Structure 1
Amino acid sequence: MDTAQLSVLVNADAEQVWLMLREPARIAQWHGWEMEGLDDEIRQIYYDNVTESPDHLRLDLGRGDAFILTPHQDGTLVTLNRGTATGEWARYDTDITEGWSIFLQQLKFKLARHPHTPRRTVYVDGTSAAHTHLWDALGIDTGWLPDPGEPYGITLTTGDTLSGKVWYRTDTQLGLTVADYAEHGDGLLILAQQARVPGLREHPGAQVIASTFGLGAADLEKISTQWDTFMETHYPDA
């Protein structure tokens, strides 16, 4: 992954994308996941020491990061230029870049599939002293997965069956749309592998982020329990 620049083509005009970058409630629909402290994180990243361009096509964040919106015939190209991490922040730089990659895909999905439906999320993470490989632990053979945009159907080692389309894939992340994650249409499941980082994460890690739309409390709890159980089994190490 290019740690200097990340881009996604979003199916929305630049004005819509700008609102997703400037209104806290809208930012929370794609940045990260539901958690304690999310409002403070949004304020620190998107409002403290930021600069807006007069044409609303560039947003400069702290530490040198910048969003650039480029109108395109198919929507808007959203580019995040990463700043150079220095000092204590340097060891977090890869994780931060990987996080931005996830968030941009969640922004793209939100605007393309559920622009008006509130998002509810399930997030779990963990590490494995056994150096568990996330795809192997789930029984996903990425060599046989279709290309992004193509339909897939898989049965995980958890016994759960998922179907939808491949949303995106990188060496460390896999995004899948999931029919059961939304009342209408589909939701988004992102699976991310994390490398060991001395002093930060002593063992390889994994993240699972499920973005759901329109589900009831029972269905959301079922998804949460499934992924909690998986993580406790395969990534139990602190």
Structure 2
Amino acid sequence: MTEASEQPTVDRILVEMTISAPADQVWDALQDREKLYNWFGWEADSLRDEIDYIFFQYTRADKEAGILWFEGVPDRFEIEPRGQETIFRVVRAEPAGKDWDGIYEDMVEGWISFVQQLRLAIEQHGLAPRRTLYFSGHAKRGGSGPIAALGLTDFRDTPDGQPHAATLPTGDTVVGQAWHRTAWQIGLTVPQWGNGLLIVTDKSVKDSAPHGRGMVILTTYDLSADDFAALEERWKTWWDRNYDEPPASEEACS
């Protein structure tokens, strides 16, 4: 019998995808600090500390069951072996009966971005080192969320695996494949960045960001120092022209 103070919970699958790699390889990518560093999040001085906090200090691993439990939050990773492939899920236990359709959630969209970075890193790069750029902000007056601002709205409906080609206002021409999409974000492969990945996320409009807000993550491989610096300069110039920094309180929970 459920106590009055307790709410019944149900499992909501936040992500379910197939990774073209055996389960042991996927599990290793979740347990090895250096491999985690090569797919989780983005370049930041705090990244190694964040990995230690999220994946080691407050995580309970059950390899036999294929489950990684995150302590203090209702989320878990599930790894299901399928021969040379793995079914990977991010699952959240939450109160039953709530309708989440059309609601933006920072943590959910973050998990989606990260595990799509994991899939790319495993399938196409053998978890080799990468370099990333990250931008987040509120659109200036007259602006919009970054999907529209980058001219990528049409790709919201592009099925995964289909080709794309776009010339961006940053000056970059990207030609690759649609990688993933949700109601709030899109991912596109970018061979020009060493077969990297561009993830663009719109966030919900709010009083402090009436013109839109969002973030982008650029994952690159094997770019020279000069090419990476030039890419960073192009994107920073465009971003700063179109977006203001979000409040520190918002950035901390993104």
Report the CA distance shift for 1:141/1:54 in structure 2 as closer, same or farther (over 3 A).
Answer: closer
Alpha-carbon distance in structure 1 between the residues aligned to 2:132 and 2:226: 13
Unpaired runs of at least 5, structure 1:
86-92
Shift of 1:129: 4.6
Of structures 1 and 2, the larger Rg is shown by 2
Q: After the TM superposition, which residues 28-177 of structure 1 pair with which residues of structure 2 at under 5 Å, given as runs?
A: 28-55=37-64, 57-62=66-71, 63-73=73-83, 75-84=85-94, 94-130=105-141, 132-142=144-154, 146-177=158-189
Moved over 6 A (4+): none
Alpha-carbon distance in structure 1 between the residues aligned to 2:163 and 2:132: 23
1:7 matched to 2:16? The reply is yes
Alpha-carbon distance in structure 1 between the residues aligned to 2:203 and 2:106: 8
Q: Percent identity?
A: 31
Alignment-derived partner of residue 90 in structure 1 = none
Report the CA distance shift for 1:129/1:4 in structure 2 as closer, same or farther (over 3 A).
Answer: farther
Alpha-carbon distance in structure 1 between the residues aligned to 2:151 and 2:209: 24
1:229 matched to 2:241? The reply is no
Alignment-derived partner of residue 195 in structure 1 = 204
Shift of 1:147: 2.1
Q: Which amino acid aligns with 1:70?
A: E
SS in 2 for 1:32: coil
Cα deviation, 1:26-67, whole Å, max 9, x if unaligned, reads 111111101121111111111123222151611111122111
SS in 2 for 1:132: coil
1:23 matched to 2:64? The reply is no
Shift of 1:8: 1.9
The TM-score with structure 2 as length reference comes to 0.81
Shift of 1:3: 6.2
Cα deviation, 1:168-211, whole Å, max 9, x if unaligned, reads 122211111111101xxx1111111111456xx64532211111
Alignment-derived partner of residue 89 in structure 1 = none
The TM-score with structure 1 as length reference comes to 0.86
- Kept in 2: contact 1:189–1:210 (CA 8 A): yes
Q: How much is the aligned-residue C-alpha RMSD, in angstroms?
A: 2.3
